[in-house]
């Protein structure tokens, strides 16, 4: 159980820290002259929209894991960790080959397109954009979590949601207060290799525990 918790926490922190999860909210808040409360409220709404779609897909993936674990112990002990490692390797290869096209790119420029719209229109646009771009990386972890049943799915959902929303709030707050001026896209550009390395490590850890 602790493996599921720690692994999900690490992946969630990496994912939520990517600049285009929170920089657009900082930019929109300043452009629209929103108050701190309004900008943070918008962050909560869009953050939950993002996690909602991820959780919905994750539950389906987790249910597949539950069904397989009830019938085949081989899936739980070897195939599930192998899937984590395989996906991790794929992410690393994609990053090394410079085929990086982050799946939230459409969200990054939302502030420019919607700066003249009303607050409600902006919130709706951002929420839809975030809902339609679920966290693909965490979905693979739902399969692993499904191996231990509904409890694993619940842990991943709660940890992912709380970590994503809270970290987005902290980064947006820091950006608005001027304490977060780092606009480097280093993390964004290397998200795949970082995520891939974490997935591989988690898969290897799962193997070692099962041996």
For residues 131-139, give the mean pLDDT: 82
- What is the count of structural domains for the chain? 1
Give CA–CA dist 171/142, Å, rounded: 26
Give CA–CA dist 47/139, Å, rounded: 17
Show Cβ contacts of residue 147 under 8 Å, excluding neighbours closer than 6 positions: 65, 66, 68, 69, 75, 76, 80
Q: Is the pLDDT of residue 106 over 50?
A: no
For residues 106-110, give the mean pLDDT: 45
Report if pTM > 0.85: no
At 113 the pLDDT is 45
Domain assignment of residue 159, given as a range? 2-210
At 177 the pLDDT is 82
At 56 the pLDDT is 94
Q: Is the pLDDT of residue 184 over 80?
A: no
At 166 the pLDDT is 95
pLDDT tens sequence across 31-63: 888 889 999 999 999 999 999 999 999 999 888
At 162 the pLDDT is 96
For residues 65-80, give the mean pLDDT: 66
Higher pLDDT, 19 or 74: 19
Q: Is the pLDDT of residue 115 over 50?
A: no
Cα dist. 113→36, 110, 125, 137 in Å?
A: 21, 5, 10, 28
At 57 the pLDDT is 93
Give CA–CA dist 33/50, Å, rounded: 24
Q: Is the pLDDT of residue 206 over 60?
A: yes
> Could you tell me what percent of the chain has a pLDDT over 90?
22
At 59 the pLDDT is 93
At 121 the pLDDT is 84
Higher pLDDT, 44 or 22: 44
Contacts of 203-207 with C-beta under 8 Å, sequence gap 24+, read 203/81, 203/82, 203/83, 203/84, 203/85, 203/88, 204/81, 204/85, 205/3, 206/3, 206/80, 206/81, 206/84, 206/144, 207/78, 207/81
Higher pLDDT, 79 or 24: 24
Buried residues in 24-61 as b, exposed as e (16+ CB within 10 A): bbbbbbeebebeeeebbebbebbbbbbbeebbebbbeb
For residues 93-104, give the mean pLDDT: 59
Q: Is the pLDDT of residue 158 over 80?
A: yes
Give CA–CA dist 179/114, Å, rounded: 25
């Amino acid at each position: 159980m602790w493996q599921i918790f720690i692994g999900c926490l690490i992946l969630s922190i990496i994912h939520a820290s990517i600049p285009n999860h929170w920089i657009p909210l900082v930019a929109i808040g300043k452009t629209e002259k929103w108050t701190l409360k309004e900008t943070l409220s918008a962050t909560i709404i869009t953050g939950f929209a993002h996690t909602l779609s991820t959780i919905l897909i994750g539950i389906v993936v987790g249910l597949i894991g539950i069904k397989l674990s009830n019938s085949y112990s081989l899936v739980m002990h070897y195939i599930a960790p192998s899937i984590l490692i395989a996906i991790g390797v794929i992410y690393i290869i994609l990053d090394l080959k410079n085929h990086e096209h982050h799946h939230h790119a459409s969200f990054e420029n939302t502030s420019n397109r919607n700066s003249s719209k009303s607050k409600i229109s902006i919130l709706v646009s951002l929420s839809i954009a975030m809902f339609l771009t679920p966290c693909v990386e965490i979905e693979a972890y739902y399969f692993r979590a499904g191996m231990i049943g509904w409890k694993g799915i619940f842990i991943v959902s709660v940890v992912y949601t709380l970590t994503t929303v809270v970290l987005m709030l902290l980064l947006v707050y820091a950006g608005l207060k001027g304490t977060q001026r780092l606009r480097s896209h280093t993390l964004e550009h290397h998200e795949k290799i970082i995520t891939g390395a974490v997935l591989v490590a988690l898969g290897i850890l799962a193997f070692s525990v099962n041996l």
